[in-house]
Amino acid sequence: MNADESRAFRTIRLTNPGVIAVIRASSAASVPRLCEALAEGGVLALEVTTSTPDFADAIRAAKAALGDRAIVGAGTILSAEDCRAALDAGAEFIVSPVLRPALVPIAHAAGCPVMLGAYTPTEAQAAHEAGSDFVKLFPADALGVGHIRALRAPLPHLRIVPTGGVTVANAGEFRRAGCAAIGVGGSLVKAELTAAQDWSALSGLAAEFVRAWRG
């Protein structure tokens, strides 16, 4: 596949089923097994953040463990340098919590979709105009589902991915509001489960999120 075809394929994978796990691990060594547990529960888009120590190594190891079963990307990308490091490690999508248009051409040249962060309608539209494939609305809990409905009324072309405050209880509400996917951090990748290496419980929680989003 060429870069455009690769990006289109990966974009589809981000929205199927549409639950993106945001992984802030305490060590790179824990990431592969953690990702496997999430994938076993049906969460097939895995965002390893730069706050994870040796995040590039973590991405590389997760991809080796999962193969084609899931898509592994990089999150909390704030600079071109980190973007290139993530892509060199094999990241298949790039996420920034803020508006960083310079990341778009770097990722697109590598065949990877990009999700730039936004909070206001102006920022969301600016992300779209910069070529961002999705708009990460962050923090979503401060804005709420009603804000997303209001935002999409005049701007229905935006592919919004709310992140921050997404739970099993409200996942379905975000989908009904027209979101393309959801980003889920601490309410899915629970610190107590990963610390205890309770992978079966993590898989079960992942399955709950997928059901809630689809439901």
Which residues are marked as active site? 47, 136
Q: Measuring CA to CA, which residue among 28, 26, 23 is closest to residue 38? A: 23
Amino acid found at 200 = S
Centre a 10 Å sphere on the Cβ of residue 125 and count the other Cβ atoms it contains.
17
For helices 199-214 and 31-40, angle between their N-to-C axes, nearest 10 degrees: 50
